[in-house]
A and B are shown apart, each in its own frame.
Chain A
Amino acid sequence: MNTYYAPEDLSKFPTIGEGAPELWKKFSEWYGAVFAEGALSEREKALIALAVAHAVQCPYCIDAYTQTCLEKGSNEEQMTEAVHVAAAIRGGASLVHGVQMKNAAKKVSL
């Protein structure tokens, strides 16, 4: 192995169940239920997953949910906007902590 991330590893995800089959079973059922059509459509949930995948920067999830979004009928424009949402929240999260910087600076300043 010359890299921590290999595309073929994505399909090995279920092997995680070998160490704790009951926990894997619970996770799988819950995961399936989360992405099923509900108050949100499967397409909307896939777009949220794609955005979160970018926020947590998981290459497996980005690969999987790019395909899922396409298979749920989203197009590249919509998917790019979802990634911008993730980027805006990440960027905004950094920036809004600037208020803490200002508070800290104020506390020690004359």
Chain B
Amino acid sequence: MTLKPFDAALSESKLYPLTATGITVFQVNIGKLCNQACKHCHVEAGPGRKETMPKQIMQACLEALEKTDIPTVDITGGAPEMNPDFKWFVKEFRNRNRHVMVRSNLTILVEPDYKNLAEFFAENRVEVVASLPYYSEQTADRQRGAGVFKKSLEALKRLNGIGYGREDSGLVLNLVYNPAGAFLPPSQKSLEADFKRELLKRHGIIFNNLYTITNMPVGRFLNYLNASENYDGYMEKLISSYNPNAASQAMCRYTLSVAWDGSLYDCDFNQMLGMKVNHGAPSNIKEFDLNKLCNRRIATGIHCYGCTAGAGSSCGGAVA
């Protein structure tokens, strides 16, 4: 099957070459270690992974960020909380008055060694972006592993208990949905209404926003697509659903993604594919150059259709 190159779609919509419009999100992937091994994970994270960002790279991230006004830091993994310097790193960003988001798998919050994490998040006014693929146990566990849904509910109740998700608390709890299979996500707005209604009715849980994220043909999800013979159909769907409006607002245009070893990427997906920032911009945090990075050309590939299909997809959910 011949797939139309992503750059051809960009050209047709007069977006080629895709370039950054600045950097407002400094995303740091601090390691691939995770207490879960989800079937769709593009990072292929899991308990056996050894890649963990060392403190000297974290220090380089802080030094780079200090030279900028980038307002938001987005910490991800793996389970970022499992990095031994995680709390120090969060505090250092907060000391520099940056808004900090942490992408949490939720279950780590109820693991015996990490039980004070919810309180730590609240004390540091961390925005929690938590994965919960569905409001029913069967669907959630099919994607994330047996027992994950129950633990996730326990973590959500703990977060709600200290104020997360309450409109007046200032403690933001956003949930992330991604399809449990080879299909596009539903409308973010209508699914958010379903999640709010069902989680409150069934479990008394509240949250602020739901982000719908498309599964990228990268990592374990790509393996699944190939093994289940869904690759051609899924790619056909992504390509035929190309939305220029979503492409023009793609997250890579305002995000810089730092890997555990300090390498720089346009997004977390390029990071997993080993496609470093190129076209003349520096590709390591130690050579951070704001001007060059803010105006860089984005490295693209066939997987980019995942962010531009339908309503689009980003780490902050639908974009169009």
State whether the Cβ of A109 lies closer than 8 Å to any Cβ in chain B: no
Q: Specify which of B136, B185, B194, B233 is in contact with A71 (CB 8 Å cutoff).
A: B185
Residues from chain B with a CB closer than 8 A to the CB of A54 are: none
Per the bound structure, the CA–CA distance linking A67 and B238 in Å amounts to 13
Contact size range, B: 10 to 19
Q: Is the CB of A75 within 8 A of B181?
A: no
Per the bound structure, the CA–CA distance linking A97 and B234 in Å amounts to 44
Q: Is the CB of A11 within 8 A of B181?
A: no
Q: Is the CB of B179 within 8 A of A75?
A: no
Per the bound structure, the CA–CA distance linking A9 and B191 in Å amounts to 31
Per the bound structure, the CA–CA distance linking A77 and B136 in Å amounts to 10
State whether the Cβ of B219 lies closer than 8 Å to any Cβ in chain A: no
Q: Specify which of B136, B183, B184 is in contact with A75 (CB 8 Å cutoff).
A: B136
What 0/1 pattern do residues 169 to 197 of B give for CB contact below 8 A with A? 00000000001010111110011001000
State whether the Cβ of A73 lies closer than 8 Å to any Cβ in chain B: yes
Q: Interface residues of A: mostly helix, strand, loop or mixed?
A: helix
What 0/1 pattern do residues 63 to 78 of A give for CB contact below 8 A with B? 0000100111101110
Q: Specify which of B136, B181, B194 is in contact with A70 (CB 8 Å cutoff).
A: B181
Cβ distance A110 to chain B, nearest Cβ, rounded Å: 59
Q: Is the CB of B183 within 8 A of A73?
A: no
Residues from chain A with a CB closer than 8 A to the CB of B149 are: none
Q: Which B residue sits closest to A74, measured CB to CB?
A: B186
Q: Is the CB of A71 within 8 A of B134?
A: no
Q: Specify which of A67, A70, A72, A75 is in contact with B187 (CB 8 Å cutoff).
A: A72
| Contacting residues of chain A (15-52) with chain B, CB-CB under 8 angstroms | 41, 43
| Further 19 A-B residue pairs, CB within 8 A, beyond A72-B187, A77-B136 | A7-B233, A11-B236, A41-B190, A70-B179, A70-B183, A71-B179, A71-B183, A71-B184, A71-B185, A71-B186, A72-B186, A72-B190, A73-B186, A73-B187, A73-B190, A73-B191, A75-B134, A75-B136, A76-B139
Task: List the 4 closest A-B pairs by CB distance, nearest first.
Answer: A73-B186, A70-B183, A71-B184, A73-B191
